[in-house]
Amino acid sequence: MGLAHVAAWRSAYAGILPETYLTGLSAVREAASYQRGIAARQNGHAAFVAIAGEADAPEGSRTPPGGLVVGFVTGGRARRPEMSEGEVETLYVLDDWRERGLGRRLMRAMAAHLHALHCRNALVWVLADNPSRWFYERIGGRTVAREEIQVAGQQVMQQAMLWDPVESLLAATAGTSSPG
Ligand SMILES: CC(C)(COP(=O)(O)OP(=O)(O)OC[C@H]1O[C@@H](n2cnc3c(N)ncnc32)[C@H](O)[C@@H]1OP(=O)(O)O)[C@@H](O)C(=O)NCCC(=O)NCCS
């Protein structure tokens, strides 16, 4: 997950976050941070990963034994309970694996998890300049708040997108076909 995180951040936030911050990201550090979160399982925190095996690899490339993490989603009970009950904290699919339905399938896995936790709704924070907010709109997310935050010493606008009830996210991600 560390490698996927660093690759996804560098591609998603180039031109949005400072270059020095992005080049300074460490896959080892990020992997350790995700591992701590998964092990602690606080507030219903969970992660789901999309793993590509040998058969999925593009011709000429090889995947490591056990497969390669090409996408993941994390979330659990909301960090700001006044805004929602459930929260999707991170969602990433590696560049070469996008537009095959993996993002939608990962969101569905998280929606089912939040539903099982009895969260009545689900929220995600996304940077307003991040094109992935169109993905969230595509699957029915509704913008409910905007605010300025500091990331890596820079003021950026983020927006909250909500699915209420959480079943609306399950419905919007239903019938996902297998990624090709
Ligand atoms: C956002 C992201 C997870 C989407 O993953 P994906 O696997 O490409 O998404 P899917 O293939 O499941 O797409 C589902 C639908 O959304 C659409 N979609 C995906 N990305 C889109 C975008 N950037 N803009 C508009 N529509 C988009 C797809 O065309 C598809 O439409 P369909 O209903 O006609 O099939 C991926 O682009 C990503 O990792 N982005 C960078 C990381 C990031 O910014 N994460 C969010 C941090 S909060």
**Predicted local distance difference test score (pLDDT) of residue 179:** 47
Instruction: Give Dmax (Cα) for the chain.
Output: 50
List per-block mean pLDDT (blocks of 10 residues) for the chain, which spans 180 residues.
86 86 92 85 91 78 80 95 97 92 97 98 94 94 97 90 98 71
Whole-prediction pTM: 0.89
Using only C-alpha atoms, the chain has a radius of gyration, in whole angstroms, of 16
Pocket-testing residue among 79, 132, 173, ligand 1, by greatest number of atoms within 8 A of Cβ:
132
Contact (Cβ atoms closer than 8 angstroms) between residue 162 and residue 144? yes
Residue 63 Cα to ligand 1 midpoint, Å, equals: 23
Domains and CATH numbers, the chain: 2-172 (3.40.630.30)
d(CA 24, CA 4) in angstroms, rounded, equals: 15
**Predicted local distance difference test score (pLDDT) of residue 176:** 59
Atom of ligand 1 at shortest range from CA of 94 = 39
Residue 14 Cα to ligand 1 midpoint, Å, equals: 17
**Predicted local distance difference test score (pLDDT) of residue 1:** 82
Residue whose CA is closest, atom 24 of ligand 1? 134
**Predicted local distance difference test score (pLDDT) of residue 160:** 98
Closest C-alpha to 136, from 99, 171, 157, 162: 162
- Sheet of 142-151: strands edge to edge? 46-52, 68-77, 86-93, 122-127, 154-163, 142-151
**Predicted local distance difference test score (pLDDT) of residue 177:** 52
Spell out which residues line ligand 1, taking CB within 6 angstroms. 8, 12, 91-93, 98-104, 124, 126, 130-132, 134-135, 138
Q: DSSP labels for 108-128?
A: HHHHHHHHHTT-S-EEEEEET
Closest C-alpha to 164, from 102, 87, 57: 87
**Predicted local distance difference test score (pLDDT) of residue 62:** 72
